[in-house]
Homo-oligomer: A and B are copies of this chain.
Amino acid sequence: MNAVNLKQLALELNLSVSTVSRALRDSWEISTPTKQRVFDLAKKMNFQPNPYASSLRKHRSRTIAVVLPEVANNFFALAIKGIETVAREKGYHVLIYLTNEEAAEEMAIASSLQSGRVDGVILSLCGSTKETRHLLELQQRNIPLVFFDRVCEELTAPKVMTNDYESGFIATEHLIKAGCRRVAHLTISMSLSISHRRQEGYVDALRRWELPCDPSLVVHCPREEEESYRMIRELFSSSFRPDGVFASVEKLAVQVYHVCRELGLRIPEDVKVISFSNLVTASLLEPSLTTIAQPAYDMGKEAATMLFRRLEKKYIVVPDDQVMLPARLEVRNSTRAV
């Protein structure tokens, strides 16, 4: 294999290897005349990029990005710890980017990551993402992408998930077995597959127990806290209010507690509450909160492990791995039968 390499091109052009390399990637850092010179010679000498060299070059940042909707949430805080544990072993830095649940932010971040400032990306989708072109583009630039929790079902990429459907079913059934007959479901963005799966589990558990599925008991809470609080308050102010509630994220359960205090409703006597949550204070609340706890730390570790597997053996095709880590029901006083 006497192929032309970057070094020969650079020598011939009297440029540094890194300049030639950047010119070939059409980097904005290189002037147009220089790029033209590089392109012309590369064509003339029939230069083919060496994937191994390219891999080395791309691995130089020794940094991975973690793109998240928020950090004020115990699930994400724990997942970050899991990711960092693995990254540290590998000698990598971790950068955290927050989308604040805004698709425009997610797109801007994905676009800035295309420049190669990180070697790989671990992402949990924001609630308003409707299209996935920005994520596809990352993959096309050979920047490995791994999803966790809020995965993108349409995209071929490694994914780390929880058994959201089963957990939604188990949570709802747990309330029914504790005596609830009007079970509400509080959820967030329906753009997210996790919201769908959890809600499907809820609906199927009601069916399984032959309870009616009342659409007015399913509340899609917006991101704005005041508005979300107002909607939950309205739900519980109704004369035909729920006697049980399954919250799909912990901040909604916290709002339910506050609403119940305000309205003088007792938990679990008047309303039973269960929530997806990794709240560190769940067992200290009055009453202690029954949770569906995701293995957040392990999910972070698994996502990072999958990413490094791709970074380290980049040119061996990695299948579309999917790892499903089960959540755990932790029964506490907020769902006690009375």
- Which segment of A26-34, A151-159, A233-241 sits at the interface? A26-34
Partner among B15, B74, B98, B117 whose Cβ is within 8 Å of the Cβ of A80 = B98
Interface assignment of A254: CB less than 8 Å from any CB of chain B: yes
Residues of chain B within 8 A of A76, CB atoms compared: 71
Complex Cα–Cα for A77 and B72 (A): 5
1/0 per residue, CB under 8 A from B, across A9-46: the answer is: 01000111111000000000111001000000000000
Q: How many copies does the complex hold?
A: 2
Interface assignment of A337: CB less than 8 Å from any CB of chain B: no
- Which segment of A88-96, A136-144, A194-202, A214-222 sits at the interface? A88-96
Residue of B nearest to A14 (CB): B14
Residues of chain B within 8 A of A30, CB atoms compared: 16, 18-19
Residue of B nearest to A85 (CB): B100
Residues of chain B within 8 A of A77, CB atoms compared: 70-72, 77
Interface assignment of A246: CB less than 8 Å from any CB of chain B: no
Complex Cα–Cα for A81 and B100 (A): 9
- Find out whether the CB atom of B96 lies under 8 angstroms from the CB atom of A98: yes
Interface assignment of A308: CB less than 8 Å from any CB of chain B: no
Partner among B15, B258, B284 whose Cβ is within 8 Å of the Cβ of A286 = B284
Min Cβ gap A40→B in Å is: 15
Complex Cα–Cα for A108 and B30 (A): 29
Complex Cα–Cα for A30 and B19 (A): 8
Min Cβ gap A179→B in Å is: 23
Interface size of A in residues (CB-CB distance below 8 Å): 46
Partner among B84, B97, B287 whose Cβ is within 8 Å of the Cβ of A95 = B97
Partner among B95, B251, B288 whose Cβ is within 8 Å of the Cβ of A96 = B95
Min Cβ gap A60→B in Å is: 9
Given A279-B281, A284-B258, residue A18 in contact with residue B14 (CB < 8 A): no
Residue of B nearest to A32 (CB): B16
1/0 per residue, CB under 8 A from B, across A73-114: the answer is: 010111011001000000001111110100000001100100
Min Cβ gap A20→B in Å is: 10
Residues of chain B within 8 A of A3, CB atoms compared: none
- Find out whether the CB atom of A284 lies under 8 angstroms from the CB atom of B254: yes
1/0 per residue, CB under 8 A from B, across A106-134: the answer is: 00110010000100000000000000000
Complex Cα–Cα for A80 and B73 (A): 13
A-B contact list, 5 entries, CB within 8 Å: A70-B77, A71-B71, A72-B78, A96-B97, A281-B284
What are the 10 closest A-B residue pairs judged by CB atoms, nearest first? A286-B286, A72-B77, A96-B96, A16-B31, A71-B71, A18-B29, A16-B34, A281-B281, A284-B285, A257-B284
Name 18 extra pairs, CB < 8 A, besides A19-B30, A281-B281.
A14-B14, A15-B19, A16-B31, A16-B34, A18-B30, A18-B31, A19-B34, A63-B112, A70-B77, A71-B96, A72-B77, A72-B80, A93-B109, A94-B98, A95-B96, A251-B280, A254-B280, A254-B281
